[in-house]
Structure 1
Amino acid sequence: MVDGSQRYLLRSARKVSYAQGETLRAMSEAGIKHFSVLSYIEIDSHGVKNLGFIRKDSNNYLNCVTKGHSRVENGDAFELMQSFKTKSNDEDLFYWDIQMDENGCFSNFFYRDGRARVDYEYFGSLNVNPAFKGMFTKCMQFCDSEEEFNIVWAKMIDEFGLHDHSWLKGMHKYRHKWSTTFSTDKFCARLKATSRSESTNFVLKDGGNKTFTLFEFVKKFETIQKRWRTNKNEEDYRCRHTMPSIVVKNQPLLQHAASVYTIEIYKIFENELVNSLNIEFDSLPSLSGSVEV
């Protein structure tokens, strides 16, 4: 006999209802942690005893829904390739390829959609040659004159055959906005934004874990990728149609920064500038000689 308080644990008494299953699926696909989803459904059911299933049942349900029997029978790599084939038939610019090892086993894969192809053609590869990186960095902040900038830039373009590179053409067109060579007439206290893009590990922290199959990881990454693109579109719209609020009104340097920077980068610059003004002198500054800060 099972105690009445434990009857909800009996296999015969447990079942994930259709409504509960849809909630599990939708919230999981949205990236909400499984524990949080269960807590929500438990509250909605007025207690764990009224839930109708246990954690194990919800895990089994999601495995069944997200993987499917054919995926288990045919193997994860096979299912991934089938997914790529379907996408390539539906999307003209979708491309994928796989690599096999010497034993004929699945080794690694590559894929990109049409949007990724357009981005690549505009921005180029993220794998930067060290020599190219060195010359580009020099153009950004270590050229003492416009003549030196032009010499280094021309050498970089010629050496790496980048005459038709659309992104670099755009960067050269707006060189006055990003190269310190052309801002010697503007006081900036040698301030530069030091924040970097979020690391790959950080932005993919919600992309799964080591127990994920290849197919599950790709689907999760596609969800993250859609969120990146949505956020970028929203930020582009915000920067094109609004101006950042300036902490010091009618301040020429901040007004200039607000006109050339995105809102996010402007806020970083403004914060750095304001913090730099909080200076304490060890001694009163003199009109001649050096000042210790």
Structure 2
Amino acid sequence: MKKAGLRPIDCFNYMSEECNGVQHVGFSKKDCYNFINTLKTTLIEPGDAQNLVRHFKGKANTEPGFYFDIQFNQEGRIANVFWRDNQSRIDYDCFGDLVIFKTTYRTNRYDLVCAPFVGVNHHWQNIMFGCGFLSDETTKSFYWLFNTFLESMGSKAPSSIFTDQDQAMANAIAGVFPNARHRLCLWHISKNAPSHLNSFNSSREFHSFFNRCLYRCETKEEFEKTWEEMVNKFNAQDDRWLNNLYKIRGKWSPAFNSDFFHGGVRSTSRSESTNHALNEISTKTISLYEFVLKYEKDLLGKWRRNEADADFFSSQSSPTIAVQDSKILKHAVKIYTNTMYKEFEKYYLTGTGALSCKEIPFVDTVYEFKLTNPESKNKRVYTVFLDINTLKVE
């Protein structure tokens, strides 16, 4: 089963079903994990391990800023690996407020878990902050990996980190990045929902409520009201999956995360594209050493060439400004890359061109403005406060 690419938990669940229950398997889930993980580390060929270590040491000696760390098990075999080059450190210093982390499988002959740390640059492109190999997906291994990553980045933690819904990963993030906002991928929650909501799958109205909670609630009050209405309308008070999802709403609902930088990211979809790129450079029979060489040349090389091309294009050309007399847009086009300028322009025009504004008499030095979009179906009203002394906007 492991050779077929099944994860340890999938192997254990399959055997549990075949034996008509966990109690009849003859060993625990932890025993299953330990056996498979021990098997994986024993499969790592001595020559491959030596080539990998030799390669990393050579890079560390010849490339300033290159960083790697390897954790060995009690038998002296490679258990976990992390590495990054100096450019990844520079990228993290510039764009490390947001990290997207998602593991992938079947990238090497030993089926070690590949764990890339992905970010977003000033052209809205993927960038790599570092990469790891893990022998398992336990809290202990994630804790080691995140600690190593943090150490390699001079103890600078991200402001936000996006992952899928993995409890072992969540435990390690809470321990290593206690002040980071841990966000869960909305796409994965939406994708997994039908398998947990069998009794509601046929109701379009329920899914309308559920999707509104996932994507369209802008304030905590709006979310709570919509969720309560959904639960009451469909008698879902005792639904275990919904109750558990509600308990961790602060990790996935946009309404609870407007105070933290997230770069417009709502899911780990960027990691999905990264995993696709990793699978393109790997096979089920590739060694760790060969994988690292292809990772450096084909993946990092391609991404960084794309960034260099975008840098050159932005330096040699400018987008057309939608409103030629706008001083704000004229300034923005000078300081933003072409891609990010178009994003800024879109939001700027939506905010100034599509909204009507009503000024409320001010109190002391604070002005109040009511903003509405006459063309919007929901007739949402936004309240903005401006303190003319401090120029603070809320």
TM range (shorter): 0.3 to 0.5
The structure whose RCO (Cα within 8 Å, separation 6+) is larger is 2
Q: TM-score, normalised by structure 1?
A: 0.42
Structure with larger Rg: 1
Q: Which has the higher helix share?
A: 1
For normalisation by structure 2, the TM-score amounts to 0.33
